[in-house]
Chains A and B, each alone.
Chain A
Amino acid sequence: MTKVFKQSSYEHISSFKPKFLQRVDNVLHHSKAVTFSSNVVPDTDKGTLSTSLIYSQGSDIYELGCEFPLGGEKNKEPKPDSEYGDAFAKVEDKKFSPKWVYSGETVSKMAYLDGSETTLLAMSKNGSLAWFQEGVKVPVHIVQEMMGPMTSYAAMHSHVRPDSLAVSDFAVSLDGETVVKSQSNGSEEDSILKIIDNAGKPSEILRTIHVPGTTVTHSVRFFDNHMFASCSDDNVLRFWDTRTNDKPLWVLADPQNGRLTSFDASSVSSDLFVTGFSTGLIKLWDARAVEAATLDFTNRQNGEEPIQKEIANFYHSGGDSVVDVQFSPTSPTEVLTVGGSGNVYHWDMEYALSNYDADDKNRVPQDACEKLQTESLKFLHTGGSRRSSKQRGKRNTVAWHPVIDELVATVDDDSLVSVYKPFTIDSN
C-alpha cells in the first residue's frame, strides 16, 4: 500500500488572486477569512457544478463564484490530477466590489446562515458580531463590543501570544436558533460568554456568563441545539447548556500537553470532538465518555480530578503546532487540522473509532503510533504560499464546503484563494 500522505495529488485544485475595484494598498496588511456558501448549482449541459466562496479582507466581504468540473464529482472515475484547474476561470479577470462591508471593523470569522432571514454572520477582531442580508451592503443587526483597547490589554497580558490565539469566537447552534460568542472581559482574570438569539429577535443578548479564572476563551462550539463547550487559556474545556444556570455542566481539564489551542465538535455525530495543542498533539474524544467519567469515583479519591480518557492521539510531524481543527460537515469521521506552518492535514478517524469501545471501562487511549498515524492521516496540503512560518492569523482561513464532500477552501496571507479536493486511496 502506498502511504497516501506522502504524495499530494488532488482530484481538483484551483487557485487565484482576486482583483478588487477599490485600490488595496498592501494586501498583506489585512486579515483574511474564508467560508463557503451552501448554494450549489449543478449544470449538466456545461458539465459544471457552481458554488461560491465568501472571502473577507479587513472590513470587506466578497462573494467569489467558482465552477468545478462535474465529471470529477460523479460520472467519471476520479483521477489524481496535480495540474491546476480553472474553477475560477470566469472570475479571474473580474474586479470585485465588496458584497458586504463591516465598516470600521476587521472581520475575523464568518458563518454562512442557511435558510434564515439573514445570510451571513461575521465577527470582528474586537468581538463584535454583524448579521448581513442578501442585497443589503451594511449589517442588518449588530452586537457591538466597545473593547478595542481593553482587548489589547487583555491579549498583551495574557500568557499566550496575542496573535496566535483569537481572543473571541462564536458558534451557531445546529438548528441555527442560538449563537454563543466568547470574548475577553478586558480584565485579567475573567472572560465572558454571551448567549444571543438568532430566531425570534436576532442579535438580542439573552444571557451573559462569566468564565472566572480565564483571560481569553478562544473557542466555542455547539454539539447540538443546546449543548456547547468553551475552550479557555487555562486549558480547560467547559461544557454548557444554553438553558441551564451560569455554571458549566462539567469540565475537561487537560493541562499536560502544552497549550490547548483549538477544538471542534462534530455536527454529524454530536458526540465526537477533537482538541489540538501547541505541541502538535491532536486528541479525539467521546463527549459521553468524558461526561460519564466526571461521575465515576471508582479509581479516585475525594477531591481528585476525574479520569477522562481520550479515544486516540495523533500528531503533526515535526511538532507543527495545531492552530485550527475542523470536523467535516458531511462525514462523521473526517477532520482537518491546520498547522502553524500553514499546512492542512486531512484525517480520517475511522480506524481509531473501529478500535474504540465506549462501554469498555478499562480501555486505554490509543497512542499516536506509526500504525494509527498512517491509517488516519489521509492527505497533506502544502500548496500556495501558506507555508510561511509566521504564526499569525491561520485561524478561519481554511473551510470545508458544507455540502460538497471533501471540498476545502483556503486563503493565504497574500490573498491567494485556493479550492481543492484531495485525491486519496479512499476515493477509489
Chain B
Amino acid sequence: MPTTQKPWARSAPSLYHHISSVKPKFITRVDDVLHFTKTLTFRSEIIPNKAKGTLTASLLYSQGSDIYEIDCDLPLASFYQTITGNGKDSSSTLSSLPNSEYGDAFKGVEDTKLSTKWIYAGETVTKMSYLDSSLDSTIIAMSKNGSLAWFKDGCKVPIHIVQEMMGPATRFSSIHSHVRPDSLAVSDFCLSANLDTVVKSQSSGTEEDSILKVIDNSGRPGDILRTIHVPGTTVTHSVRFFDNHLFASCSDDNILRFWDTRTSKRPLWILNEHQNGRLTSFDTSQVTNELFVTGFSTGVIKLWDVRAVETATTDLTHRQNGEDPIQNELLSLYHSGGDSVVDVQFSPTSSSEFLTVGSTGNVYHWDTEYFFSKYDDDNEDEASMDNATPEELQGQCLKFFHTGGSRRSSNSQFGKKNTVAWHPVIDDLVGTVDANSLVTVYKPFTGRDL
C-alpha cells in the first residue's frame, strides 16, 4: 500500500499531481525584479472546459505597487479525481499518477506581456485578499505602511482608501523593535467570514503601542469604525477572524489576544506563549471556526482548539491566585532543522490540512487527520495521546513539502509572508511566488490519494 510511505522521510524529490511555473513578462520596463516586494493570491472563480480538458483559474500577483492577473489552464485530469470521488474509479487512476515533470498551465501567458490590472501608486503592496466578484469591490490590498486600498474589476485605481501617514514612524518603531524589522510584517489585515468587517493591525509609531482598526466593508467600505490600542506591544503582525465577529491579534510580546468586533476596548481573553521562541505567525480555520495554528521562530508549530483555550482561562482548578491559566495545545509539530516558521495558512477546503512556510522558503503541508482520529474531544487528560510518539505524529501529519523553484534562498530572510496561497475552491492547489518573480502553481501528490 502506498499509504505507508512517509513522504517527509524520503530523500527523493517530492512528487506532484501537477506543477507549473512561469516568470511573467511585463509591458512596463522592470529594472531589477529582485528589488520589488511580491505577493500572491487566487481569485475564486474557476472555469472548467471539458472539450479542452482544462480548468482555468487566475492568480493575482503584486510586484511593488502593481497588481497583475495571471490566468493558468490546469489540466482537468489532475483535478478530476478529487471531484468525482477518491480513486474508486480505476480508469481515472492512470491520469492521476504522480508527475514530477513541469506542466504547461501557463502556456497561454508565457509569452504575453502583462499589463497592470490595478495600481496602488506610491505604495508597496504586501498583502492582498480576494473579496468576491459579486461585491462592490474585488480585492483589498495592504501596503507596507499599513494603508488599505479597495480595487474593483475594470478600474485601475483604488475606489476606497484607508491611508496611513506613517512612513518614517513605522520605520522608527521597526528599528526599535526587538525583532528584526524585515522578518516580521508590521501590519496585517483580515476579513470576517461574511466579508462585512475588516480588521487591520499596525504600529502606532511609538515604542510601546500598536493599533487595531475595525473597518467597515459592508455599508460604507473604508469607514473606520473603531480604533483599539494594544498596549505594551510594538508591532501586531497578524490578525485573523474566526467567524463574523470573533478575531485574534498576535503581537511581538508573544501574546494572542482574542476580541469581538462588537465589544469594548479590552480583549475577551488572551493566550500567552513565551516559551518557544518568537511567535511569528498564526492562522484560523475557516472550515471549523474553532481550530487555529501558531508558528514560532524556533520551527515549532502548535495546533489549538479555541474553545479549550477560552475554557482554560476560567478554570482555576490547578492554579493559584494570579498565576497564568493552563492553556494546552492539541498538538505540537516542528520544522526539521529548526527552520523558523514565517507563515501559517489553513486550507480553505479541509478542516485538517494546513501549510506552513519556513524561512528557507520551503512549504510544508500538514494533515492532522491521523491525530484527530485518535484524539478524544472530551478527555482533557493529555495522557490520551501517550500511544503516539512525537516522531510518529510528525511522520503521520507531514504529508508533503515543496522546495522547488528558487525559493530555497537562506540569505534573504525577508518577505516570505503572503508569497504562498491556497486556492479557495480547488482542493490542495497552492500558488507560490519567489523573490526572482517565478510564479508556481502545484498540487502535491501524497500517498493517501491512492
Give the interface of A toward B (CB within 8 A): 175, 177-178, 195, 197, 199-200, 206-207, 224-227, 241-246
Interface of B is mostly: loop
A residues less than 8 Å from B219 (CB atoms)? 224, 226-227
CA distance A246 to B245 in the complex (A): 17
Which A residues are in CB contact (< 8 Å) with B218? Answer: 224-226
> With A178-B262, A195-B262, A226-B197 given, can you name 16 additional A-B contacts, CB distance below 8 Å?
A175-B194, A175-B244, A197-B260, A197-B262, A199-B243, A199-B244, A200-B245, A206-B260, A225-B194, A226-B218, A227-B219, A242-B262, A243-B214, A243-B216, A243-B226, A244-B226
B432, CB-defined interface residue at 8 Å: no
Q: Does B264 contact A (CB under 8 A)?
A: yes
**Chain A residues with CB below 8 A from B385, complex form:** none
Nearest CB of chain A from residue B150's CB, rounded to whole Å: 18
User: What chain A residues lie within 8 Å of B261 (beta carbons)?
Assistant: 242-243
**Total of A-B residue pairs, C-beta within 8 Å:** 51
Min distance, Cβ B343 to any Cβ of chain A, angstroms: 27
Q: Are A243 and B225 in contact (CB under 8 A)?
A: yes
With A199-B244, A226-B196 already in contact, the answer to whether A206 and B263 are too (CB < 8 A) is yes
- The complex places the Cα of A182 from the Cα of B246 at a distance, in Å, of 23
In the complex, are the beta carbons of B245 and A197 less than 8 A apart? Answer: yes
How far apart sit A227 and B244, CA to CA, in the bound complex (Å)?
15
Q: Mark B196-218, 1 if CB is under 8 A from A, else 0.
A: 11000000000000000010101
B245–A199 contact, CB under 8 A?
A: yes
Give every chain A residue within 8 A of B197 (Cβ-Cβ): 226, 243
For this complex, 21 residue pairs linking A to B, each with C-beta atoms less than 8 Å apart, are A175-B194, A177-B244, A178-B245, A197-B260, A200-B246, A206-B260, A206-B262, A206-B263, A207-B264, A224-B219, A225-B196, A225-B244, A226-B197, A226-B219, A241-B216, A241-B225, A242-B262, A244-B214, A244-B225, A245-B226, A246-B264
Bound CA–CA A224/B197 (angstroms): 13
Closest residue of chain B to A177 (Cβ to Cβ) is B244
For A226, list chain B residues within 8 Å (CB): 196-197, 216, 218-219
Lowest 3 CB-CB distances: which A-B pairs, in order?
Answer: A243-B261, A242-B262, A244-B225
How far in angstroms is the closest Cβ of chain A from B73? 38
Complex Cα spacing A197 to B245, Å:
9
Taking CB atoms, residues of chain B closer than 8 Å to A245 are: 226
Give Cα A227 to B194, complex, Å: 15
A195 to B260, CA, bound (A): 11
In whole Å, how far is B223's beta carbon from the nearest beta carbon of chain A? 9
Please state if A207 and B194 are interface contacts (CB–CB under 8 Å).
Answer: no
A46→B261 CA distance, assembly (Å): 50
Query: Does A200 contact B243, Cβ atoms closer than 8 Å?
Result: yes
- Which residues of B sit under 8 angstroms from A242, Cβ to Cβ? 261-262
CA distance A226 to B244 in the complex (A): 11
Give, as a whole number of angstroms, the nearest-CB distance from A181 to chain B.
13
Closest to A208 in B: B264
Closest to A246 in B: B264
How far apart are A224's CB and chain B's nearest CB, in angstroms? 6
- Bound together, the chains give a CA A337 to CA B216 distance in angstroms of 33
- Which residues from A are CB-within-8-Å of B246? 200
Q: In whole Å, how far is A119's beta carbon from the nearest beta carbon of chain B? A: 21
**Residues on B with beta carbons closer than 8 Å to the beta carbon of A224:** 218-219
> Bound complex: CA of A12 vs CA of B44, how far in Å?
49
Residue numbers in B under 8 Å from A177 (CB-CB):
244-245
A225, closest chain B residue (CB): B196
Which residue of B is nearest A204, CB measured?
Answer: B260
The CA of A242 and the CA of B216, in the complex, are separated in Å by 11
Among residues of B, the one whose C-beta sits closest to the C-beta of A271 is B219
Question: Which residues of chain B in 235-269 are interfacial with respect to chain A, using CB atoms and an 8 Å cutoff?
Answer: 243-246, 260-264
